[in-house]
Structure 1
Amino acid sequence: MKIAAVQMVTSCSVQGNLERAESLIAEAAAAGARLVALPENFAFMGRADHDKLALAEPLDQGPIQGMLSGAARRHRIWLIGGSIPLATDDPQRVGNTTLVYGPRGERIARYDKIHLFRYDEALPDGTSRSYDEGVVLCAGAQPAAFHVRDEDTPPETPGWRVGLSICYDLRFPELYRALMQPPCDLIAVPSAFTYTTGRAHWELLLRARAVENQCYVMAPAQGGVHENGRRTWGHTMIVDPWGEVLQVLPEGEGVVCAELDAQRLATVRRTLPALAHRRLGA
């Protein structure tokens, strides 16, 4: 099955971002992708953390979710909607939430980001910038996965099991171990890594998650200088179960595609049965 990871350089304009995301989804679908994933915060990156509070959508309502559902239905694809600000019971907190849609436009999965990013970044000009997602985000608590079926998949088979995570989650291998019971075939990591942390750790962590869990990893990312002055690392990539980078886009908007190969997955797990060798937490 062909999959596609979308890279964006999201602005402060929700409408403009939705239009650009829809265009990139169409590009991925035209290339033959059956599963497409957008990056974290694909619909909005504001000038201040609290800006997203005004844009929070109730579940199954609002223009962001409407675009995602409509795009999945029009292109008859499975769509991992990056992450969006989802309304919570606390008006001062929103969820950083991945919603997944099936080929009929139906919502089939939800994941709320569990690990919230905090970092003090030293900038080249000698100043610093602080990040603290806990100021406005409400952390999730439960891992989430879903099954996606290719058109050629026999109806009696479950298809591909896909685990969900978001950005900073990548640093916490225990989340991915939880997702491997039963094993996932693919892990999605929609992200907006900073330039500094991405340059140091992005590829290293993605390849490690692929190797230790013996599965494919797709990581759609933000990649460039944003309207709010933030610079993200980009390097959207797809990694195979042996840790090989199949495709990568260093910077700027675009789409990377690769094929999920069931035989490759089975061969890696058979020749080095590390998942079967687990003793702690198995």
Structure 2
Amino acid sequence: MQLVAIQMTSGADIKANLAYVASQLALIDTGGTPTLILLPENFALFSHRDDYLAHAERLGQGRVQQQLADWAKEYQCWLVAGSFPILSDIEDRIYTTSLAFDPAGELVQHYHKIHLFDAHVPAVSIASNDHQDKSIFKKNVKQGFKKELKQQTYKESDSFIAGDQIATFTITDSTGGDITVGMAICYDLRFPELFRALSAANADVLLLPAAFTHATGKAHWLPLLQARAIENQCYVLAANQVGDHGGNRHTWGHSVILNPWGESLAQQTSSCGICCAQLDKHKLVQVRADIPILQHARFTASLKNKE
């Protein structure tokens, strides 16, 4: 099975963001083998509370979800939309939700982000990155100067409601075997209990769509991803946002595909684009047989209720 991560610099213009996704999907060879494509968190809309509330859709309905379904069917792929705002039953509160579509264009699974990012991100100084098509975002990608950043405060709980269920779905690969995929989003990466729960649910691939900040990504992105791959003996498919999104928001990029040994199979570093790799089922079997972690584990992970 082919694993693909799309890295992009999303903004507040949904039409422009979707146009970029379309341009990248057209570059991927999805013929001949099952293909799982992951988009980053906030792929269609990277903005602020009012925009998220204004453009939120009901689960399974809406133009953005219809476009995702059409793409999955057109390219005969499994397409997972990193996150998109989904309406809840509470006024002025929404979910940030990952959406999985099968090659028939059916929404087969969704995951409401469980861990909401309420944090202070340290100030860093970065050089500007390459961004996607400047005709879309009107950014000057030729600049190479350093820009001083101020500490940024995030509080996702002001806009979003935390989910309360893990989510998996199953893909039948070209050999007739099943591949189970576990879903997570961005800040979830810091909570190994979630990934152990997905592993206990027989996950073979762990998805991590993200908008990991430049400061936290530089320090923690790859080590955390490798830890989740190694300790759960799973492939990890991680698609991140990259670059300058305005409003003092800069993301790290470095989308990556890791095998169950924690080795990097492909990486898209500091520019927009695609990384691809093949899932080797024999590697999964070998690693798990050599070091049977789940059989040896004496602790369990469970989701605690919020008071």
Q: With structure 1 as the length reference, what TM-score do the two structures score?
A: 0.94
2:145 pairs with 1:144: no
Distance 2:122 2:294 in 1: 39
Q: Which amino acid aligns with 2:36?
A: L
| 1:126 Cα deviation from its structure 2 partner | 6.8
* Deviations, residues 175-218 of structure 1 (Å, cap 9, x unaligned): 11111223211000000000000011000000000000001000
Quote the residue 2:43 is aligned against: 42
- Asked if structure 1 preserves the Cα contact closer than 8 Å seen for 2:240 and 2:253, the reply is yes
| 1:153 Cα deviation from its structure 2 partner | 3.4
Deviates further, 97-106 or 177-186: 177-186
| 1:62 Cα deviation from its structure 2 partner | 1.4
- Asked if structure 2 preserves the Cα contact closer than 8 Å seen for 1:101 and 1:108, the reply is yes
| 1:30 Cα deviation from its structure 2 partner | 5.1
| 1:33 Cα deviation from its structure 2 partner | 6.5
Quote the residue 1:133 is aligned against: 156
| 1:128 Cα deviation from its structure 2 partner | 2.1
- Asked if structure 1 preserves the Cα contact closer than 8 Å seen for 2:200 and 2:294, the reply is no
Distance 1:189 1:98 in 2: 10
SS of alignment partner, residue 232 of structure 1:
strand
* Match 1:260 to one of 279, 285, 288: 279
- Asked if structure 2 preserves the Cα contact closer than 8 Å seen for 1:112 and 1:140, the reply is yes
Quote the residue 2:186 is aligned against: 167
| 1:229 Cα deviation from its structure 2 partner | 3.8
1:153-192 alignment to 2 at 5 Å?
A: 153-154=175-176, 157=177, 159-192=178-211
- Asked if structure 2 preserves the Cα contact closer than 8 Å seen for 1:98 and 1:110, the reply is yes
* Match 1:231 to one of 244, 250, 253: 250
CA RMSD in angstroms, aligned pairs only: 1.6
- Asked if structure 1 preserves the Cα contact closer than 8 Å seen for 2:150 and 2:248, the reply is no
Quote the residue 1:244 is aligned against: 263
Distance 1:60 1:127 in 2: 39
* Deviations, residues 88-120 of structure 1 (Å, cap 9, x unaligned): 112211110011000010010010000000121
| 1:281 Cα deviation from its structure 2 partner | 1.5
Distance 2:151 2:260 in 1: 37
1:92-131 alignment to 2 at 5 Å?
A: 92-124=92-124, 125=148, 127-131=150-154
* Deviations, residues 138-182 of structure 1 (Å, cap 9, x unaligned): 1100000000122x233xx4x100000000000001111111223
- Asked if structure 2 preserves the Cα contact closer than 8 Å seen for 1:10 and 1:222, the reply is yes
In the alignment, structure 2 segments of 5+ residues that lack a partner are 125-147, 302-307
Shift in alpha-carbon separation, 1:20–1:66, aligned structure 2, 3 A: same
Q: With structure 2 as the length reference, what TM-score do the two structures score?
A: 0.87
Quote the residue 1:76 is aligned against: 76
| Runs of 4 or more consecutive aligned structure 1 residues displaced over 6 Å after TM superposition | none
Distance 2:28 2:209 in 1: 16
* Deviations, residues 55-105 of structure 1 (Å, cap 9, x unaligned): 101112212101110000000001111110001112211110011000010
- Asked if structure 2 preserves the Cα contact closer than 8 Å seen for 1:73 and 1:105, the reply is yes
Q: Which amino acid aligns with 1:130?
A: T
Distance 1:174 1:121 in 2: 23
Q: Which amino acid aligns with 1:140?
A: G
Deviates further, 169-178 or 120-129: 120-129
How many residue pairs get aligned? The number is 277
Distance 2:237 2:92 in 1: 32
Distance 1:226 1:174 in 2: 31
SS of alignment partner, residue 187 of structure 1:
strand
Shift in alpha-carbon separation, 1:36–1:86, aligned structure 2, 3 A: same
SS of alignment partner, residue 276 of structure 1:
helix
In the alignment, structure 1 segments of 5+ residues that lack a partner are none
Percent identity over paired residues: 42
- Asked if structure 2 preserves the Cα contact closer than 8 Å seen for 1:237 and 1:246, the reply is yes
